[in-house]
Structure 1
Amino acid sequence: MTLFSDPADLHSHRVRLVLAEKHVTTDIVDVDPLNLPEDVMDLNPYGTAPTLVDRDLVLFDSRIILEYLDERYPHPPLLPVDPVSRATFRMYMYRVEQDWYSKVNVILGGGKPATKARKELKESLIASAPIVEAKPFFMSDEFSVVDASIAPLLWRLPYLGIELENKASNIFNAYAARLFKREAFAQSLTEAEREMRL
């Protein structure tokens, strides 16, 4: 199995985190998203990272990759077993991407839109603090693919210039500490991501 991974990208990071959680041996090839190798361009019609190659199978959407990994390597399970809960967790992942990841992309683009996106992301995180506080992990007692999606975002908050205040800060700091102390999280970090927290 080979993962073509952007060493600074949220989507690639969450795939690396799930691979580490599941102890899957993978060749991880760091790629520059602006100068992708021909191998990736031949495999992925969209020319994006992450791109996962498992024998004859090629996957290039991070959510699909996460679900594939959870089904292919069922232990530990990172999605619930019953269909209703699975669908609910899939909706959480979709919301994380739409409400939070999309803002990160705008922030990284800079300029006036970045200021607005930074404010919106901060407000959205603060609004979700009571949900985060309710359980040890996101809406769950166990680490899930939703947490694997949120952890890379929380890691990048200082880099993005976002500082939460008051109670929301305490809630997210405690949640982030639980995520960051996981051995798999440490294994998932690239050098570029470690530098984001220096």
Structure 2
Amino acid sequence: MMVDTTQYTLFSGGLKGAEAEFGINAERWGLREVTLSFRGHEMARAKDVRVLSEEELRRGDISMEIVSKRMGRTYAEAEKIRRVLQSIFHMVNNGYQVFAVGWIQPDGTVKGGTGWGVELAKLFNRPLSVFDQDRNRWFTWDGHQWVPDDPAIVHKTFAGTGTRYLTEEGRRAIRDLFERSFGPPPQG
């Protein structure tokens, strides 16, 4: 049975690394893409861009104090990172299932800005999987802890995010995720 990949939509931010790679694979398999952006946002992949208005960005606003507490760290450039965190809110809010590539830290959070998308997915009770580039494997959040897994894209909308510092293993993991979900890439 063939899966109609045109019924699936990737929400991403188009940044270099994992987000651009999710987009490349979405295009390869014929999925729809929505690349969320904001004024001043530099993207490596600017396909099907939707620029968030100031009002939309405000809907994704959260206290940096709450972010710092949830993530267990502080952010030096709070105003700069605020826009990124606001756009990540829209990625997770629009893409039901969430996939990220990065590093799971000992406290269960994920390193960097990617970690905020992961924490939002936990808060929103979204199906969530992270490819850990140190352990070179996927983990799925079971509501309490990270469990080794080989996830698949099973929801029509999903978010793809992650580190700008994508390893070759991370790149392969994203491709394998699409292949597990939709079969071999179409020829052409």
Range of TM-score over shorter length: under 0.3
Q: Which has the larger radius of gyration?
A: 1
Greater strand proportion: 2
Greater helix proportion: 1
TM (norm. structure 2) is 0.28
TM (norm. structure 1) is 0.27
